[in-house]
Amino acid sequence: GDHVAVYPTNNLELVDKLASLMDINMEQVFTMTNVDEDSSKKHPFPCPTTYRTALSHYVEITALPRTHILKELSNYTSDPVEKAKLEEMSSTTPEGKALYQTWVVDDVRHITHILEDLPSCKPPIDHVLELLPRLQPRFYSIASSAKVHPTSVHICGVVVEYQTPTGRVNKGVATTWLQEKIPTGEGEEMVCPKVPVYVRRSQFRLPNRPQTPVIMIGPGTGLAPFRGFIQERAWQKSQGKPVGPTVLYFGCRNKSQDFIYQDELEEWEKDGLLTLHTAFSRDQEEKRYVTHCLRETGAAVWDLLDQGAHLYVCGDAKMMAKDVRNIIGEICREFGKMSETEAETFVKKLESQKRYSADVWS
């Protein structure tokens, strides 16, 4: 249930494009010092360094610039029309906000795109480095058990790549970078690429007693921590420990394309360790999601909750996690014979007892 933080490197083609737009010598060494006397850090990132290193490792060049950055950029724009556009987007007028929404947010324009589309905007690199946010680590749920894989950490992610309304292709910083980190050679000759990471502990963990039932709801890459959970329970079973019911609700678009870890899950199901409920939303006329499976198996879910089961939700916070919580409330009302107030109190009690845990992102 822990997370691994990955420190990625920005796309080097994008770094070079940004450098050429600003006409800078990438090997130039510089030091940036905080002028704020009260600042806890003397430098915003490790210094001295080169412009290449700073743009590759220390600043977020694909983040959408906030309005205050556009205001600063307008000071370095010579064309009156382009300057006015940046000033309007950084204003608080309804027109300015609407233009920012369409031109920056909807069109997904980051700093490089803005400099490409407003050729008279020529900010100095030092000010750009000061304005851009620091490049943050990306967190992934660990998709393996330390009992089974003591010397490695598995992660499960979708490589982000999409076309924007302006016809450009945007790529996810970390997933695109990780995609190419493939070991070469075999056995003792194997050379593994190095990736800077650290592990962040999480409260999202299996119950202490292996016989406690667990219900896991993880569509898409929300499956990641549950693969680790099931590996752990398979290991506990192999050690002769009594392992309680282990139930997984997994969903994706198409069984033939997106059913990640299918072989492993079906093997655990065949071994009697796992009860697997799947929903493939696009494989039939009517869309079908994990929430449908959950409703259909309401009686079994209630029986497990009544036996002290722990329930886990992982994945998209926008809709799925909220829907699941509502359905658990419905199940408590229908099969636990509770009123609406009692059901809500029951779910809140599960949460406070750490029997209902969510690891969600939006």
Asked if 60 and 45 count as a contact pair (C-beta separation under 8 A), the reply is: no
Which is it for strands 197-200 and 3-6: parallel, antiparallel or unpaired? Answer: antiparallel
* Segment (H or E) for 42: none
Closest among 93, 104, 125 to 25, alpha carbons compared: 125
Q: Which of 103, 314, 332, 357 is catalytic?
A: 314
The rounded distance, in Å, linking the Cα atoms of 291 and 308 is 21
361 among known catalytic residues = yes
Question: Which phi and psi angles does 191 have, rounded to 5°?
Answer: -110, 120
> What DSSP assignment string belongs to 282-325?
TSSSS---HHHHHHHTHHHHHHHHHTT-EEEEEEETTTHHHHHH
141 among known catalytic residues = yes
Q: Which of 56, 74, 141, 144 is catalytic?
A: 141
The rounded distance, in Å, linking the Cα atoms of 4 and 14 is 26
Asked if 325 and 347 count as a contact pair (C-beta separation under 8 A), the reply is: yes
359 among known catalytic residues = yes
314 among known catalytic residues = yes
Asked if 103 and 73 count as a contact pair (C-beta separation under 8 A), the reply is: no
Residue found under tokens 């229908």: 334
The rounded distance, in Å, linking the Cα atoms of 61 and 14 is 8
Rg (CA), the chain: 25
Backbone dihedral region of 167: left (phi > 0), alpha (psi from -120 to 50 degrees) or beta? left
> In sequence order, which ranges of 161-317 are alpha helices (DSSP H)?
173-179, 224-238, 255-258, 262-270, 290-296, 298-306
Active site residues: 141, 314, 359, 361
